Structure formats: C-alpha cells, structure tokens
Chains A and B, each alone.
Chain A
Amino acid sequence: MSPNQSAILYLAASVLFILSLKGLSHPLSARRGNYFGMVGMAIAIVTTLAMTRRVDVALGMMAVGGLIGIFAAKRVQMTSMPELVAAMHSLVGLAAVLIAAAILHDPQAFGIDDPVPVGNRVELFIGAFVGAITFSGSVIAFGKLAGLGRYGRVFSSAPVTFAGQHFVNLALALGMFGCGIAFVAAPAGAQWASFLETIGIALLLGVLIIIPIGGADMPVVISMLNSYSGWAAAGIGFSLDNSMLIIAGSLVGSSGAILSYIMCRAMNRSFFSVVLGGFGAGEGTVADSSVQKAVRSGSADDVAFLLGNAESVIIVPGYGLAVGRAQHAVKEMAGKLKARGVSVRYAIHPVAGRMPGHMNVLLAEAEVPYDQVVEMDDINSDFSSTDVAFVLGANDVVNPLASQPGSPIYGMPILEAHKSRTVVVNKRSMAAGYAGIDNPLFYMDRTMMVFGDAKKVVEDIVKALD
C-alpha cells in the first residue's frame, strides 16, 4: 500500500471518528455513531496491518487485549463505570509511553531517521510525559474510585495533602522539563538516561497531582484524565507524522477538557481550585450547628402516603442512590406511582453520580425512559408547581444556601427542590454534604426527612404502596 493510499484511508477513519462523536447528540443517533467509530477503528487497524511486514506479533497481542477488553465490558456493573473508564485511561497512557520508547529504540521501523531528529524528539518528549502522567494519575484515580483506600493512603478517597505540596509539584515539573531539554539536546545514543528520567518524574507527578483531590471531585478528575489521554495520543501522532492520530487525539483531548469545564461550572469552582485540591477535606463531617434545629422525620409509610396522593412528583437522585444501588427500586416505585396516575419525573444535576452523565446511565440501566429524565436547566422552573420533590441521596445540589452571598457554595447552580409544595429527603444521617455545610432544606416546615439506606427506604415505600 502506498503512503498516499494509507493517508486517504486514515482520513476516512478520522471522519468516521468525528461522526461517531456527532452521533451522541441524541440517544437515537448514538448507536449509529458508535458503529461509525467501530468502522473507523477497523479501517485504521487494517490499513496499518497492511503496511506492516510482520503482523503475527501484533495480531496475537491484539487478540489477548481484545479478549480482556470484551470480558471487562460485558461484566462491568454500571455503578463501576468510573473505575472502568479510569483503568482504560491508564492503558492509553502506558501505551503512549511504550510506543515512545519503541520509537526511540528503533526509529526506522516508523520511517523516522536514526538518530531521531530534534523536532521528533520534542514531540516524543511531550507524548511520553503526558502519557506517563495519564498512566500514574489514572491508577490513583482508579484506586480512589474503587475504594482501595485500605491498601494504601494514596488511594484514599479523602484528599492527601502535605506541607509544600504545590512547591514539590512545581519543582518536579521544572525538573521534568529540564530532563526534556537534556533529552532533546543529547548526542545520538545517549538519550536513554534523560528519557527514562523524564518518564520517572512524570509518573511521580501524575501520582502527586491526583492524591490531593477529594472523592467528590472525581467527576472532574476523570474528565481531566480523559483529556490527557487524548493529548498523549496526539503527541504520538506528532512524532509519527500521522494526521489521524493527531485528529483522534485532539477530539478526545477537547472532549475531556469540555467535560472538565462543565463539571467545574456545575460545582461553581474554578478548574485550578479543583486541581490544586484539598477541598474535599470536610466530607462526611457532621455539620457544626450550635442551635439544635428541629427536623420533621417520617417513616416509609408516611412517604408512601404523600407520594400516592400527589399529582406530580420529581425525584432528585444523587450520589447516595448510586452508592445504595437503589435505581431499580426507584424505577419500581415510579411504576407503582404512575399506575395511580401520578406524574413522575427525574431531575438530574450535572455532577450527580461519580462521573459526567453517570446518573443518566444508572437510570437507563433500570429502564427509566430517558424522556422522563430531565436536565437541571429544563426542570428548575417546574418545581414550584410540583406536589412532592423526593430527594434521594443528594445534598449540596439541592442546598438553597447556594443563592445566599457569603455561603461557601454561593453561586453553585442547584436543583430548586425547596420550591415544591412538599419536600421528602432521604439520607443516611444528618451528616453534612461534601461542601461541609448545613442544608436549610432539611429544616423547612414543608420538609420530611426519611433516614436510612436509599434502597431499603425505597423498597419499604414500594411495599407500602401496594
């Protein structure tokens, strides 16, 4: 195959990748989009194999990896999607490092001059260090998401901070760029030391960047690593002068960056304050209120009575629902209510769940029709005309303090559940949310608290509705 032919085929693959993302603009076109992506990938791989003299190693290893991937994809629980995605980011990062090393070892296999010219070395350096940061950062993120805190403090979902952390990170980053300059300037045959030093520092940096970020900021972290894995791929594309890799990498990189931005905006926090970390420290602490305020608490039977006699109900699912795996019970409850003529909808805050769009997938898994699942901006005006808002395991995203200047979460967009005629809140305890502040919603006269595990409570409501 001539280089021109392969370049045209790579172009076709690039266009298919763009179409695959475009398909995700609506659930109905999304499946077709995914097929476009598969075809694009098939074209890319077959074209490359056709240009390669020896395909046995590649095909064998592809079969090994492919089988593992298919197995993981079939078995993964939807609640564990964030872990799977983090694990996959780490693989792309590690692969980018290995490919960079292979290019350095045998540039001629890639059609690059030996020794590697200065321009290509700069690109190799970028691809390798971004890949290494993606790899080690994703491993830490995976550990935090999978709750591996008991195996090592770096995997703790609480932020890990120490004195001079930012200074250490800055020093390491400068050291890494120093190694990069040494790598680019090194004489032929003497590049390995500085290359390996670069990789080592980048791996350490990846760990240090992720450990100070608290568990509730994981949606930002995982989007950020998504972005990095794309830039790593683009970096390898630059080294190989392969426009398809550059295009695919940039698509992924910008996608991750936009998701990070959306997540930060939904928490009303700057990207830098998330990345610099330490904010999640107050997570799970009981709110410090000197005045013992009264809450009205009720039983599952009381809630069933309220819901059964309402005309309209909006369910506000949060992280607690995902943790309690209560989505199927919720769907059953909604079905019972609908049978009684109650209108039931779901209000989704952008940061509900543990990764962007996680709550939508969990509800989809429980076969909740997607036209009943409404985004924050589209449903907020409806709360005031709603009989019951049922808040399930959410806290800060429904905190009315967000509209009060001076509050720590001032300016954060919230679901305005407090405007509905009655509010029912399910929580495990009176502990404050991740922002560590009290929630006046719980003390309103129109609010009823139901304490307990989300799944158990909802199942009891379902029984009471019979």
Chain B
Amino acid sequence: MTGSVDPIVINITIFVLAIFVGYHVVWNVTPALHTPLMSVTNAISSVVMVGAILAAGSDTIGYGSILGGIAVALVATNTFGGFMVTHRMLEMFKKKDRSADRNVGRVPRSGPAGRSEDAGRVPPSGPAE
C-alpha cells in the first residue's frame, strides 16, 4: 500500500472521534443546565463564521463576498448573543449559591476572556452578604 490518505478519510476520522467526545461530554451535563447547554452550543456552531469570513475576504467585492458578508452578520448574532445569553443564565444560577459555595473559589474575572462582548459588562460586585 502506497500513497497518502485522502483528506476525506482524515475528516471522517475527526468527525467520528468528535462525535464520541461530544457523546461522553454531553451525557455529563447536569439536566438543570440543559437550556444553557443549548444556547452555548448555538454559539459554538456559529464557528461556521470561519467560512463566512473567508468568503467575505475575497479581493474583489462580488457575489461571493456579499454572500459571505451577510453570513458573517448572521452568525455573529449567534456568536455574541449565544455566549452572552448563556452568561446571563449562568449568572442566575450563581446568585443563589452564594451561601452554599462561599468557600468555593470565585471564577477569576481577569482571565484571558477579553472578548468585546464582555468588556462593557460591569463585573458583579462581591457577594452581598
């Protein structure tokens, strides 16, 4: 057997393994967080923006870049909206566990999460108790 492996075979390998990873990770998600799971997977699926940016980035403005540009706007709604609404929901789950997890370390806010959608948000002030 000589010759290189066709890219499609490599893609299928990645695809099958990723489904396995997804299967095991998702079964571990607590049922209470199934709605945030949906909104965050929504945000993650907007990674098709990669394709849209390539289309929008062609040298000349033509049908390709117009289609790509529209696609960028559509999925950017998901990217920013999806992560943000997930954040909003998870904050609600935090509010009430203050008394329960007082000794659990708070998630550092100064991490590399420097996404623009977060920049405008005031970090929640410390626990109110």
- Chain A residues within CB distance 8 Å of chain B: 13, 17-18, 20-22, 24-28, 30-35, 37-42, 44-45, 48-49, 51-55, 57-58, 60-70, 72-74, 76, 78, 81, 84-85, 88-89, 91-92, 94-96, 98-99, 101-103, 105-106, 109-110, 119, 222-223, 226, 229-230, 232-234, 236-256, 258-259, 262, 348, 350, 355-358, 360-361, 364-365, 367-371, 373, 375
- 10 sampled A-B residue pairs with Cβ under 8 A: A22-B28, A44-B47, A69-B79, A85-B35, A95-B71, A99-B48, A105-B62, A355-B38, A357-B31, A369-B99
Give the complex CA separation of A30 and B107 in angstroms.
10
Give the complex CA separation of A53 and B61 in angstroms.
12
Chain A contacts for B69, CB-based, 8 A: 57-58, 60-61
Chain B contacts for A244, CB-based, 8 A: 47, 50
B72 touches A65 (CB 8 A): yes
B49 touches A45 (CB 8 A): yes
> How far does the Cβ of B25 sit from chain A's closest Cβ, in whole Å?
5
- Chain B residues within CB distance 8 Å of chain A: 6-8, 10-11, 14-15, 18-19, 21-23, 25-59, 61-65, 67-97, 99-101, 104, 107, 111-118
A226 in contact with B41 given A31-B91, A58-B57 (CB within 8 Å): yes
Give the complex CA separation of A143 and B16 in angstroms.
34
Number of A-B residue pairs, CB cutoff 8 Å, is 405
A105 touches B111 (CB 8 A): no
A25 touches B117 (CB 8 A): no
Give the complex CA separation of A234 and B12 in angstroms.
10
Q: Which residue of B lies closest to A119 (CB)?
A: B8
B68 touches A98 (CB 8 A): yes
Say whether chain A's binding surface is mostly helix, strand, loop, or mixed.
Answer: helix
B83 touches A34 (CB 8 A): yes
A70-B80, A254-B22 given; 6 more Cβ-contact pairs under 8 Å:
A28-B101, A31-B107, A52-B54, A54-B57, A106-B63, A109-B55
> How far does the Cβ of A29 sit from chain B's closest Cβ, in whole Å?
9
Give the complex CA separation of A49 and B126 in angstroms.
37
Q: Which residue of B lies closest to A52 (CB)?
A: B57
A233 in contact with B22 given A57-B57, A98-B67 (CB within 8 Å): no
B44 touches A20 (CB 8 A): yes
Tell me which of B47, B67, B113 contacts A101 (CB under 8 A).
B67
Q: Which residue of B lies closest to A30 (CB)?
A: B90
Tell me which of A24, A55, A58, A64 contacts B36 (CB under 8 A).
A24
A28 touches B97 (CB 8 A): yes
Pick the most buried of A32, A88, A223, A230: most chain B CB atoms within 10 A of its CB: A88
> How far does the Cβ of A130 sit from chain B's closest Cβ, in whole Å?
12
B52 touches A99 (CB 8 A): yes
Chain B contacts for A234, CB-based, 8 A: 15
A88 touches B19 (CB 8 A): no
B79 touches A41 (CB 8 A): yes
Q: Which residue of B lies closest to A49 (CB)?
A: B53
A106 in contact with B58 given A98-B71, A360-B31 (CB within 8 Å): yes
Give the complex CA separation of A10 and B38 in angstroms.
22
> How far does the Cβ of B82 sit from chain A's closest Cβ, in whole Å?
6
B88 touches A250 (CB 8 A): no
Q: Which residue of A lies closest to B32 (CB)?
A: A360
Give the complex CA separation of A27 and B89 in angstroms.
10
Chain A contacts for B114, CB-based, 8 A: 42
A57 touches B76 (CB 8 A): no
Chain A contacts for B28, CB-based, 8 A: 22, 25
A52 touches B84 (CB 8 A): no
Chain B contacts for A365, CB-based, 8 A: 92
A17 in contact with B44 given A106-B58, A246-B11 (CB within 8 Å): yes
